[in-house]
Amino acid sequence: MPIIKAEGVSIRYITGDFRDIGLKEYVMRRLKGNFHVKEFWADKDITFSLERGDMLGIIGTNGAGKSTLLKAISGIMVPTGGHMEVHGNIAALLELSSGFDKDLTVKENTYLRGAMLGYTRKFIEEMYDEIIQFAELEDFQDRPFKQLSSGMKSRLAFSIACLVNPDILILDEVLSVGDGAFREKSGNKMKQILASGVTGILVSHSVDQVRDLCNKILWLDHGKQVAFGDDVEYLCDAYEQFLRSKKLPTSEEDMKKLAEGHHNWLAAKRQENARKEAEKIQKAIESDDSEAALQAALQIIRKNRPELLAENIQ
Amino acid sequence: MSQIRDSIDRFQKNTFLFEELVKRDFKQKYKRTVLGMAWSILSPLLNLLVMSLVFTQFFGRNMEHYTTYLFCGNLVFSYFRESTNSGMNALMANSSIFSKVNVPKYMFLLSKNISSLINFGLTLCVFFVFALIDHVPFGPHFLMLIYPVCCLVLFNIGMGLILSALFVFFRDITYLYDIFTMLLMYMSAIFYTVESFGPTVQKLFLLNPVYCYIRYFRIITLEGRIPSLSYHLLCAFYVVLIVGIGGLIYRKYNHKFLYYV
């Protein structure tokens, strides 16, 4: 049974200048007949399904409807059309540090966040030490939240969401939080969680991260579904080429062309690098500096064909 | 069986969220100061003092138990005003939460209502002390005061539901509501009596729910009797009406508030 199943999900936003007008202005505009509400489809006809243990990567440029789709999955929004089915409890990390109260302490905020994610007090009490430890905030437990650095805030949010064993974990641009060390730790934690059978959804602008973590890809563009599939490498190749060429694939053939294009681009880049390196050696030889030439050649071998080196032959 | 367990589970989770929200609202409101709490009891008392001075000394009102009469009106009305005013902000103040996490939205309103309910409870104790000093005859019929208090709590929650939803849609509601509460205050016979009006006008006063609850308090404390059954039904009717409207609005717009914040 799929954990998450979306069938032709469409979400319509209403926009217009009704947001900040008051009741008086609203009545006036209604009377004059110039009250206008615009509609626009943030997502149109999205269909996908995830099994237990899947990790879905959602890719797409800004304004593709990724975050809106996540809101529909986490139940904050209801699809205007189509059908969304979700089984299991969700820890959603949409825009990390929102929802924390700046005057409450770290400890109080942890409890509040835990409550909002739908856990019981007993459970949070059991997990509290582990959460603080993972976030490396042991010395800050009684500090007001506003005194924390933004990195610390994100670390806390990440730790709470990850350590409470959700069935479904939604991550919106969050793996880029904290410093290098924490990023590595959180990446490892993610892999560990996914190995334990949690279903995950990752929105990221880093294609490499998506390649690294995901086994399914959903590609959105301006609210429309470009592709959904489990051939991660192929789709990511096509997406990266799309980012350069800005040509949206309309058919399977286009997609193949894009993926090929990416391969060609990679090959061309490799060739370009090789050419540059060759030039370097050439220059060194020409200036009659054989030591430098030797060093450069060695470096190239070390980079491209490490297996040829004696230190690696055992 | 599993359904029962599910609903117990959901209840437990919601009580945890509720407790944490109440704690947060308390800390936000009083900023962890002792005086903050004391002030919120002191302010209705000072209000009462000013009113009783003005009306007894300057306007020469010489009604028996006038302080108690005044206090009844003040007690009920200030609870109504405080609770609905703070309730109005319940959704907007938490918009950054409910647009990111899926939580039952009425929780925010209930938790805001708790602190004004506590204030009301404390002022009610002061009210009993005042009534005792004023030689109001106490009796077992005072137990019936639970009824208007319950009605008032629910009525305020209902008003909070309506107002908090309206405030999301129209930000100028807060000014309009200020004018409305002022009007309502003058129509609630807080410092004057309705006896000077004709019987038809006296009936018209009953269209004001807040006046009904104030009057219930006065019938018990000053007249020493329990109101009629139809009066009870009238009190309950306003509760059902207002909570019903508020509930319907929340149900209908539950997922639409998001567009307006």
The string of pLDDT tens digits covering residues A289-313 is 777 777 877 877 777 777 767 665 5
Regarding an ipTM greater than 0.90, the answer is: no
The answer to the question of residue B44 being in a domain is yes
pLDDT of residue B2: 66
Please state, in angstroms and as integers, the Cα–Cα distance from residue B120 to each residue in A3, A26, B80, B83, following that order.
48, 36, 9, 9
The answer to the question of residue B254 being in a domain is yes
From first to last of the 261 residues of chain B, give the pLDDT tens digit: 666 777 777 777 788 889 988 988 888 887 766 777 777 778 878 888 888 888 887 776 677 888 889 999 999 999 999 999 999 999 998 888 888 788 888 989 999 999 889 889 989 998 998 889 888 888 899 999 999 999 999 999 999 999 999 999 888 889 999 999 999 999 998 888 888 888 899 999 999 999 999 999 999 999 888 999 999 999 999 999 999 999 999 999 888 888 887
Please write down the long-range contacts of A112-115, taking CB distance under 8 Å and 24 or more positions apart: A112/B20, A112/B21, A112/B24, A113/A157, A113/A160, A114/A160, A114/A164, A114/B16, A115/B13, A115/B16, A115/B17, A115/B19, A115/B20, A115/B21
Q: Which residues of A touch B16 (CB under 8 A)?
A: 114-115, 119-121, 124
The answer to the question of residue B239 being in a domain is yes
pLDDT of residue B14: 83
Counting the structural domains of chain B, the total is 1
The answer to the question of residue B27 being in a domain is no
B5, B15, B16, best to mutate vs chain A, most A CBs in 10 Å: B16
pLDDT of residue B196: 84
pLDDT of residue B151: 95
The answer to the question of residue B69 being in a domain is yes
Q: Which residues of A touch B259 (CB under 8 A)?
A: 13-15
CB-defined contacts A:B, below 8 A: 85
Question: What is the distance between the alpha carbons of residues A298 and A280, in angstroms, rounded to a whole number?
Answer: 12
CB of A58 closer than 8 Å to CB of A36: no
pLDDT of residue B97: 84
Of A20, A78, A112, the CB nearest to B24: A112
pLDDT of residue B32: 65
Residue contact B100–A118, C-beta within 8 A: no
Q: Which residues of A touch B13 (CB under 8 A)?
A: 115, 118-120
Q: Which amino acid is at A84?
A: M
The C-alpha R_g of chain A, in whole angstroms, comes to 25
Of A14, A101, A117, the CB nearest to B259: A14
Please state, in angstroms and as integers, the Cα–Cα distance from residue B12 to each residue in A22, B8, B214, following that order.
39, 6, 36
Of B13, B169, B173, the CB nearest to A118: B13
Residue contact A90–B100, C-beta within 8 A: no
**Could you report how far apart the first and last alpha carbons of chain A are, in Å?**
49
Of A13, A20, A112, the CB nearest to B171: A20
pLDDT of residue B60: 66
Residue ranges for chain A with pLDDT beneath 70 = 17-19, 92-98, 173-178, 308, 310-314
Question: What is the distance between the alpha carbons of residues A196 and B169, in angstroms, rounded to a whole number?
Answer: 44
pLDDT of residue A97: 62
pLDDT of residue A94: 63
CA distance to partner chain A, nearest, from residue B237 (Å): 28
pLDDT of residue A102: 82
Identify the three-state secondary structure at position A213: helix
pLDDT of residue A95: 62
pTM above 0.80, yes or no: yes
Domain ranges, residue B60: 34-260
Residue contact A23–B176, C-beta within 8 A: yes
DSSP state letter for A19? S
The answer to the question of residue B15 being in a domain is no
Residue B86 contacts by C-beta under 8 Å, 6 or more apart in sequence? B112, B113, B115, B116
The answer to the question of residue B179 being in a domain is yes
Of B24, B170, B255, the CB nearest to A26: B170
Measured between CA atoms, the residue of chain B closest to residue A112 is: B20
B172, exposed or middle or buried, with CB in 10 Å at 0-12, 13-18, 19+? Answer: middle
Largest CA distance in chain B: 68
pLDDT of residue B87: 93
The answer to the question of residue B197 being in a domain is yes
Q: Which residues of B touch A117 (CB under 8 A)?
A: 101
What helix, strand, coil percent values describe chain A, rounded to 5? 50, 20, 30
Residue contact B173–A22, C-beta within 8 A: yes
